[in-house]
Structure 1
Amino acid sequence: MRLHRLRLTAFGPFGGAQSVDFDELSAAGLFLLHGPTGAGKTSVLDAVCYALYGAVPGARQNGQGQTLRSDHAAPATRTEVTLELTVAGRRLEVTRQPPWERPKKRGTGTTVEKAQSWLREYDAGAGAWKDLSRSHQEIGEEIGQLLGMSREQFCQVVLLPQGDFARFLRADAEARGRLLGRLFDTRRFADVEKRLAERRRTAEARVREADAALLADAHRMQQAAGDAMELPELTPGEPGLAEAVLSAAAVARSTAREQLTIARHGRLAAGSAQAAADRDLSDVRELARLQRRFEEARERAAVLEERAGEHREAQARMERARKAEAVAPALELRESADAEHRAAADAEARARALLPERFADDGAAGLAAAARRAAEELGGLESARRGERRLAELAAERVDLDRQERADDDVLTETEGWLADWDATRAELQRRIDSAQEAAAHAEQLAVRREPAGRRLDAARQRDRLARDTEEARRRALAAADRALQARTHWLDLKEQRLDGIAAELAATLEDGAPCAVCGATEHPAPARKDAGHIDREAEEQALAALQSAEQRRADAERDLGAVREALAGAVAEAGDTPTEQLAAEAEELDLEHARARRDASALHPAREELRRAELEHQRRTAAQREAQVRAASRVGHRDRLERERASLEEELTQARGGAQSVAARIGHLERQAALLTEAADAVRAAEDAAARLKTADGRLDQAAFKAGFDTPRAAADALLDDAAHRELQRRLDARQTEETTVRAVLAEPETAAAAQRPPADLAAAREAADRAADRLRRAASAEDAAARRCEELDRLSARAADGVRRLGPLREEYDRVARMAGLTAGTSADNERKMRLESYVLAARLEQVAAAATARLQRMSSGRYTLVHSDDRTGRGRSGLGLHVVDAWTGRERDTATLSGGETFFASLALALGLADVVTDEAGGVRLDTLFIDEGFGSLDDQTLDEVLDVLDSLRERDRSVGIVSHVADLRRRIHARLEVVKDRTGSSVRQRVH
């Protein structure tokens, strides 16, 4: 890899655009990168690293408060780094732009631009650059594949940090392992250690889990077996656990089977005793039942004997009722005839009471004849009744004529008066219509004038309000501008004060033994001190944030002022200069006049409607007047005809009335008399027929009673029973007969009689004996079930434990195998005598290669005195494998590298860095590293050693390499003619390139 050209803009301390021509610098082999402390020498190397990997070296990448963008850059200048290099025979150009905050193109404020990257390749055949990619990920993968090393490896191999290798010389094995692991990417070996450790933990967890499950089953078996199983104290992972569990389980199962056999014998004996007790209880229950049955039969027989008299009376009563049933039809016939006779006699009496006294002694024939005479007289009065009705109709017609005459007279009088005022009424209504039409036209004219008047009034009010708002917005804009100016002045003052004291700020980060971020020296004899008024970066950033906030408020205030002024101009254009009060008065007057016109115009429709109704009324009244006059003329002839017909009817009806008030009254009297006579004649005939039927029924009843054996009909009637009484009496007789039959049958049973001769049954004693036998059987069965369940549970748990033991065998074997391997790779096993981890073992081989490569240069730098060797010895209780010693040829002793002096440590670390670069390059696939940088440390060498070191570095040109030395040592500027100087200034740093 060879660097050709570097261009950087607004990067780190460089506020503007800077360019570095590495081809010109590399022509001499050695070139010097120098400048005062804090100028930005290391930032040039950071730019190279950022161009290749999109990030600066780790220590500065993660530094608090560090940013890639220069604080000296103009707001609109974008940060950019472009590196032109050749790698693997390909000439490439990488351009990277980090994200940055730039001013907005429109308006105020800032916006954030995303990071961008470009990768181009020079096509020698076409003589032009061609684009390869604009993707961050693709560019990173392409560069990483071509260089064959990560950012950490690049920073250690190409940008040789002497402070890191000085610490590497003095570090312990663990610290060396971390550095070498990053450089040689031995993560896969560390991953093997981790995977083996994880597998060991997993296998151990599985073994412990299986042991715990086995112990859980053992405790369950102990709970199931009770005192029959003794289990020693065991823990998961303890040797012999499986054998102890299985042995205890076998003893517990044997004991449980013996207990099950004993329990089964006990249950069989209890079952036999319980069956015998149940049979005895059944026999006693049967004896008690028979004795109770015999006693109850005797009690029932006694009751039957006591009620024998009642039974005989019931039988006699049933016999009389059977005889009386033969007389029942005659009794019913006589009762029916008697009821009919009484009803007929009552009807005859009522009918005779309604007749005149002269008919009191007449029979049915006389009464019928009188009814016929009244009917004949009614037939002669029918014509007179029609005449009387016609006379009433004539009177009603005369009354109706009189009413019609009065109504027509009223209509004529009212109509004549209304028609007399018609012309005046019509003229008044037409006048009202004309007035309302004029008001409607005036309202329309006023409505057209009201809208522009309202707009002018609204604009005038807005004009007045905006005038006040404009003044207030102007005051706010002036105040915001003053505050922004004060904030800018304050920020510039703080920025200048911070730049004046930047040395003290950088000195605050120095630590004894740690390299200076500016010069790289590990000794800091006189660092600058902060004074009482020192301004740090945080204070400056706060002032800048306050300035940006003030500028934003100023821009907002000016924007608000412009908006208010624009609105005010629009309002003035609409309203003019007329005062608001005058425009309001004019608008109010228009509103009032418009309201009056609308109110007058609203009478138009009612007036038209009233005129239409008046014209309809005029037509109706004129027609009614004509009709009344016609009806009056026709009533005169009709009245004469009615009077003649009335006189004729009065003469005829006077004869037909007789002594009655009217013909209708006389007809009504005759109709009532005829009806009463007819009804009385029928009632007399019905009474005579009912008396004859009653006499016949009495004769038949006497004959039936005598024939049935009764002295009188009354005796037969008393002997009869109704249906309910008959059923009840028959039920009692049947129940008596059934009870007698049942009692005799029970008393005749042999077993019942035999039971009655035996002593009374003791049912309580038999039941108590049966209960005791049943309880004994239940306890025996429960004991047997518990013993059987215990055997089943122990068999199940023993089988599961045996299965667990079988599964545990392979798990324990796997754990033993993995644990041995994990212990060996982790360096914790007793078999690993040097306590060397697998990764350390691999890195030890790499360290041997590095030591061999470094020794070739160290001997030249030390005039053949020192040789670096790798050591496998352990230090204290630490692990071995990454020890590094130096062999002193002058004394022939091998000693630790920590015993070297400051200058010796520098050239030893330089030799180690160059050797490491060679080994890492070979590890990365043999990529040539034609450009190297060495950062600081030369100030600790004497002149002779410095010459020897420079000779070694100069010998690198034999491989067509160029080496850049980063240092501010003044003597190097005399010895090295190709130089790149970094100059710092208040406006930012810049580079000057000199080749003499």
Structure 2
Amino acid sequence: MRLHRLTLTAFGPFADTQTVDFDDLSAAGLFLLHGPTGAGKTSVLDAVCFALYGSVPGARQGSGPGLTLRSDHAAPATRTEVALELTVAGRRLRITRQPPWERPKKRGTGTTVDKAQTWLREYESTAGTWKDLSRSHQEIGEEITQLLGMSREQFCQVVLLPQGDFARFLRADAEARGRLLGRLFDTRRFADVEKRLAERRRATETQVRDGDAELLAYGHRMQQAAGDAMELPELAPGEPGLAEAVLGAAAVARSTAREQLTVAECALAAAESAQAAAGRALDDVRELARLQRRYGEARERAARLEQGAGAYREAQALMERARKAEAVAPALELRDSADAEHRQAAAAEARARALLPESFADAGAAGLATAARRAAEELGGLDSARRAERRLAELLDERAGLDRQERADADVLQEAEAWLDDWEETRTGLQARVDSAQQAAALAEQLAVRREPARRRLTAARQRDRLAEDTNRAVDRVRRAREDTLRAKQHWLELKEQRLTGIAAELAANLTDGTPCAVCGATEHPAPARKVAGHVGREAEENALAAYQRADEQRAEEERRLGVAREALAAATAEAGDTPADLLAAETDELEKQYARARRGAAELHSAQEALRQAGHEHERRLAARQEAAVRTAARVGRRERLERERAALEEELDRARGDLDSVAARAAQLERRTALLTEAADAARVAEDTAQRLKDADARLADAAFRAGFETPQAAAESLLDNAAHRELQHRLDAWQHEEAAVRAVLAESGTAAAAAQRPADVASAQQAADEATRRLRDAASAHDAAARRCAELDRLAARATASVRRLAPLREEYDRVARMAGLTAGTSADNERRMRLESYVLAARLEQVAAAATVRLRRMSSGRYTLVHSDDRAGRGRSGLGLHVVDAWTGRERDTATLSGGETFFVSLALALGLADVVTDEAGGVRLDTLFIDEGFGSLDDQTLDEVLDVLDSLRERDRSVGIVSHVPDLRRRIHAQLEVVKGRSGSVLRQRGGQGGAGTP
């Protein structure tokens, strides 16, 4: 994989579009990415990762929802975008990604959110054009991951080499190393195997225990079914021999239950015979008692019938008179109906005559009808007078309306005249308000232009004063750091000189007779040098050197901070000038007060303009209202005269029609009431005359019907009639007496009943007691037989289930033994696993051994052959083994843990480890070639000689046509590495400057 070009827009600290030409930077093999703290060096690496995978490295993904990739310095209308051109697997691709963007709406106010977009294009060399491949986030992610052969975590660990992570890796324990290597080499499948075996072991163990528990439960149920006559073994689930003991006890219990069933069958047969005999004797006694009771009851019923014979004959006579009276019933109903109609008609006639004048008291139906016709004719002549009366009311209402209109128009004219008299004065005042507000608005616009520059200048002045104090303090710190560095260097050189003076004593300390001298080669040592008092050893010299290096690093850091402070001070001074901050603050406050006053005055502009416009509309409305009122007043004069003439003619006509009443309507109502009363009275008189005649006819027919039926008077016939309920009740009594008499005679005539009455009374209680006792003995025998049968069936059923459970459990126990051995071996807990190494740790140990071998190749060169990385599978304390990492020091010949390395040693050892890990992971990912690598920080801990060796190793990567980008603050690297990508920080965002490549210096 080789990077060609990266383009950033509104990303991270970069507000505008920035371009990185990796082809130009990679021409030299090594290139440097540097810049002030917070300028955005890491954001360049984030952009590469975001273009490939759609997200930034894990440690910089953000800790909250408020963290975004968009630059805070970018213009609202500029969309965030990252575009990367690269070559991978022989294909040149261009990936363009745009994260979600909250932008202002094109219409109206507020914002809207545009969705994330992604494009993948491929360059066709034959046509010289870019071809679109996909715009799907998921498809592009799968395509890039397949081409690179690495996940985002692997890419960030292999291509964007994070030195801090590998330094922690060297000092970490086995568990932490396992987590990192597991992510890089994707050994989750081996961990899944361990987990699956452990789960399978727990599952089979649970199944075995459940099977034993089920078998033991069957045993307890068989013990309960056998009536506690069965003894169970005292074994827990999972213990051997449980199945044989339970099945043996079950066989004994089943044999005993079958013997008990045979005894119960014999007892049941004897009880059944005795119960049948007692039942037959009870039935005979009950039948004799029934016949005796039947004969006694029949005798009692016959006596009661003899006592009620007189009442029976009276009821028969009453029924006969009722049958004769039924022939007179129709005539009685007709006479009652005619009498009711006549009384109702007479009452209606009386009520109608009571409403008429006394002059009509003796008039007949014909006279009343004639008077009603005359009143109706007079009512018909009042229709014309009614219309005249309605028209007169309309005229009066219309004249009242004219009066109201006249008063309203007079009020309108008066109000309009009063308002128009003050119009000129009102218009002049409103126009003055508008002019004043317009002047205030113009002043506010002028002051608004001056506010923001004044604020920025005040802020810059305050920052200038603060930075001036920070710069002075930084100067003091730099001076003290330089003095400390000089003292430390002088002390180191003095100790080094003293050690060189006494180096012979150190060499002589290792001389032995017969061993050649490392200086002269002699095997005899007659006078070896001796250490003198105050001898300086190598440890003291190294401690002095380390102190000097720390002091020099502190000095460089203080100088860098001083430079940053001076740059910031210069920027603030350039914007604020030399004016004191207090004076600028007073000027800004006064400007704000003037602006506030102008804004308040300008705020009145809209209301003043609106008031002037409303006043103009009101002026026009008043003029129109005055003119319309004058026109309406002139039109009302002629209309009033016409109404007066028509009113006089109508009143003359109505005087004639009303008579002595107040109105024509009252006269018409009087005639309507009289007509209705006369008509109603005439009708009532005719109905009364008709009903009287019908009543007379009904009386004659009733007298004739009563005589023919044998009654002396109609009243006697009416009294003999029975209603339906009384007739049915009387007939029911007669029928019941006859039925009872026939039933008694039939019972007394039975021969069996009479014979039973002649015998002794039956003793039912004794027979019932004997039968109950026989039934109880039979029930007890049946219960005992059923219990024995159920016991045998339950024991057989449970024994069959227990036997089937034993058969099912055998293969489960074999599988559990086999799975438990495998799970213990892969988990490192088995005795067969001597080093207690888990399966995943075993695979990771093999990978770590490959990484250590690949890292040693570069580590030897970085350390001048001193250090070698080796893998160790020894156990650490009581923990598990497999992921140990040691370093072998060729100067001492000792092997020690990587956690004991110093700061500088840790850096180049971790760098070698990172490069070796990159090679191994690349091979693991399918051999994808990585032509571009980045190394982030850590070079400040190296001395000059070690730095040269490390750079030589990195420069050797060009032999494999690789380019390495170094991200560092070390000033010495700017002299050693000519190809550079500088990140320049500014108030409006950061920019990129590229120089030293084939294309020369770049521009932002």
TM-score tier after normalising by the smaller chain length: 0.5 to 0.7
Equivalent residue runs for 1:630-649 within 5 Å? none
Counterpart position of 1:88: 89
Counterpart position of 1:339: none
- Any stretches of 5+ residues in structure 1 without a counterpart? 315-399, 504-520, 529-556, 618-725
Equivalent residue runs for 1:522-561 within 5 Å? none
Give distance in 1, aligned partners of 2:241 and 2:462. Answer: 81
Name the aligned partner's letter for residue 824 of structure 1.
Answer: L
Give distance in 1, aligned partners of 2:804 and 2:169. Answer: 57
> Cα offset for 1:58?
0.6
Are the structure 2 counterparts of residues 815 and 605 from structure 1 closer, same or farther at C-alpha, using a change threshold of 3 Å?
farther
Q: Is the 8 A contact 1:438 1:601 kept in 2?
A: no
Are 1:102 and 2:89 matched, yes or no?
no
Q: Is the 8 A contact 2:2 2:86 kept in 1?
A: yes
SS of the aligned residue for 1:227 comes to: coil
Give distance in 2, aligned partners of 1:45 and 1:32. Answer: 13
Counterpart position of 1:116: 117
Q: Is the 8 A contact 1:437 1:601 kept in 2?
A: no
SS of the aligned residue for 2:964 comes to: strand
Equivalent residue runs for 1:133-282 within 5 Å? 133-232=134-233, 236-282=237-283
Counterpart position of 2:4: 4
> Cα offset for 1:170?
1.8
> Cα offset for 1:914?
0.7
Are the structure 2 counterparts of residues 244 and 742 from structure 1 closer, same or farther at C-alpha, using a change threshold of 3 Å?
closer
SS of the aligned residue for 1:14 comes to: coil
> Cα offset for 1:801?
3.0
Q: Is the 8 A contact 1:32 1:964 kept in 2?
A: yes
Name the aligned partner's letter for residue 49 of structure 1.
Answer: C
> Cα offset for 1:761?
5.7
Give distance in 1, aligned partners of 2:983 and 2:458. Answer: 25
Larger radius of gyration: 1
Name the aligned partner's letter for residue 906 of structure 2.
Answer: T
Give distance in 1, aligned partners of 2:829 and 2:470. Answer: 51
Are 1:45 and 2:88 matched, yes or no?
no
- Post-superposition CA distance 1:750-780 (Å, at most 9, x none): x987x65xxx764433322221121121122
Equivalent residue runs for 1:67-78 within 5 Å? 67-78=68-79
Moved more, 90-99 or 285-294: 285-294
Counterpart position of 2:812: 811
Counterpart position of 1:576: 619
- Post-superposition CA distance 1:532-555 (Å, at most 9, x none): xxxxxxxxxxxxxxxxxxxxxxxx
> Cα offset for 1:16?
3.0
Counterpart position of 1:655: none
SS of the aligned residue for 1:965 comes to: strand
Q: Is the 8 A contact 1:95 1:119 kept in 2?
A: yes
Name the aligned partner's letter for residue 915 of structure 1.
Answer: G
> Cα offset for 1:959?
0.8
Give distance in 2, aligned partners of 1:225 and 1:137. Answer: 69
Are the structure 2 counterparts of residues 968 and 595 from structure 1 closer, same or farther at C-alpha, using a change threshold of 3 Å?
farther
Give distance in 2, aligned partners of 1:953 and 1:260. Answer: 98
Are the structure 2 counterparts of residues 775 and 937 from structure 1 closer, same or farther at C-alpha, using a change threshold of 3 Å?
same
Counterpart position of 1:332: none
TM-score where L is the length of structure 2? 0.59
SS of the aligned residue for 2:840 comes to: helix
SS of the aligned residue for 1:11 comes to: coil
> Cα offset for 1:29?
1.3
Are the structure 2 counterparts of residues 124 and 502 from structure 1 closer, same or farther at C-alpha, using a change threshold of 3 Å?
farther
> Cα offset for 1:262?
2.9
Equivalent residue runs for 1:891-910 within 5 Å? 891-910=892-911
Name the aligned partner's letter for residue 198 of structure 2.
Answer: A
Q: Is the 8 A contact 1:432 1:607 kept in 2?
A: no
Are the structure 2 counterparts of residues 595 and 234 from structure 1 closer, same or farther at C-alpha, using a change threshold of 3 Å?
farther
Counterpart position of 2:55: 55
Counterpart position of 2:31: 31
Are the structure 2 counterparts of residues 568 and 121 from structure 1 closer, same or farther at C-alpha, using a change threshold of 3 Å?
farther
Counterpart position of 1:846: 847
Q: Is the 8 A contact 2:392 2:650 kept in 1?
A: no
Name the aligned partner's letter for residue 977 of structure 1.
Answer: H
Equivalent residue runs for 1:448-459 within 5 Å? none
> Cα offset for 1:283?
5.4
Alignment RMSD: 6.2
Identity %: 69
Are the structure 2 counterparts of residues 493 and 274 from structure 1 closer, same or farther at C-alpha, using a change threshold of 3 Å?
farther
Name the aligned partner's letter for residue 171 of structure 1.
Answer: A
TM-score where L is the length of structure 1? 0.59
Are the structure 2 counterparts of residues 598 and 128 from structure 1 closer, same or farther at C-alpha, using a change threshold of 3 Å?
farther
Are 1:986 and 2:1004 matched, yes or no?
no
Name the aligned partner's letter for residue 619 of structure 2.
Answer: G
Counterpart position of 2:946: 945
Moved more, 118-127 or 765-774: 118-127
Counterpart position of 1:916: 917
Q: Is the 8 A contact 2:862 2:949 kept in 1?
A: yes
Are the structure 2 counterparts of residues 873 and 86 from structure 1 closer, same or farther at C-alpha, using a change threshold of 3 Å?
same
Counterpart position of 1:792: 793
- Post-superposition CA distance 1:99-128 (Å, at most 9, x none): 233333444433333322233333333333
Counterpart position of 2:314: none
SS of the aligned residue for 1:174 comes to: helix
Equivalent residue runs for 1:628-707 within 5 Å? none
Are 1:16 and 2:11 matched, yes or no?
no
Give distance in 1, aligned partners of 2:102 and 2:124. Answer: 35
Are the structure 2 counterparts of residues 733 and 908 from structure 1 closer, same or farther at C-alpha, using a change threshold of 3 Å?
closer
Give distance in 1, aligned partners of 2:125 and 2:191. Answer: 45
Name the aligned partner's letter for residue 782 of structure 2.
Answer: A
Are the structure 2 counterparts of residues 589 and 853 from structure 1 closer, same or farther at C-alpha, using a change threshold of 3 Å?
same
Name the aligned partner's letter for residue 936 of structure 1.
Answer: E
Give distance in 1, aligned partners of 2:894 and 2:188. Answer: 36
SS of the aligned residue for 1:805 comes to: helix
> Cα offset for 1:595?
14
Q: Is the 8 A contact 1:443 1:598 kept in 2?
A: no
Q: Is the 8 A contact 2:82 2:97 kept in 1?
A: yes
- Post-superposition CA distance 1:901-953 (Å, at most 9, x none): 22222111111111111111112222211111111222222222222211111
Give distance in 1, aligned partners of 2:938 and 2:2. Answer: 24
- Post-superposition CA distance 1:233-270 (Å, at most 9, x none): 66554544444443443343333333333332332232
Equivalent residue runs for 1:487-886 within 5 Å? 571=614, 574-576=617-619, 762-886=763-887
Q: Is the 8 A contact 2:441 2:602 kept in 1?
A: no
Give distance in 2, aligned partners of 1:28 and 1:727. Answer: 139
Are the structure 2 counterparts of residues 273 and 585 from structure 1 closer, same or farther at C-alpha, using a change threshold of 3 Å?
same
Give distance in 2, aligned partners of 1:81 and 1:742. Answer: 123
Are the structure 2 counterparts of residues 966 and 430 from structure 1 closer, same or farther at C-alpha, using a change threshold of 3 Å?
closer
Equivalent residue runs for 1:426-441 within 5 Å? none
- Post-superposition CA distance 1:872-912 (Å, at most 9, x none): 22222322222222223333333322222222221111111
Name the aligned partner's letter for residue 35 of structure 1.
Answer: G
Q: Is the 8 A contact 2:295 2:747 kept in 1?
A: no
Give distance in 2, aligned partners of 1:126 and 1:731. Answer: 126
Q: Is the 8 A contact 1:196 1:821 kept in 2?
A: yes
Are the structure 2 counterparts of residues 742 and 875 from structure 1 closer, same or farther at C-alpha, using a change threshold of 3 Å?
closer
Name the aligned partner's letter for residue 947 of structure 1.
Answer: D
Q: Is the 8 A contact 1:433 1:608 kept in 2?
A: no
Give distance in 1, aligned partners of 2:51 and 2:262. Answer: 91
Moved more, 840-849 or 792-801: 792-801
Name the aligned partner's letter for residue 864 of structure 2.
Answer: S
Name the aligned partner's letter for residue 896 of structure 1.
Answer: D
SS of the aligned residue for 1:816 comes to: helix
> Cα offset for 1:62?
3.5
> Cα offset for 1:206?
4.0
- Post-superposition CA distance 1:551-579 (Å, at most 9, x none): xxxxxx9999999789768755643366x
Q: Is the 8 A contact 2:845 2:883 kept in 1?
A: yes
Give distance in 1, aligned partners of 2:627 and 2:272. Answer: 120
> Cα offset for 1:735?
10
SS of the aligned residue for 2:227 comes to: helix
Counterpart position of 2:130: 129
> Cα offset for 1:429?
9.5
Are the structure 2 counterparts of residues 741 and 203 from structure 1 closer, same or farther at C-alpha, using a change threshold of 3 Å?
closer
Counterpart position of 1:926: 927
SS of the aligned residue for 1:878 comes to: coil
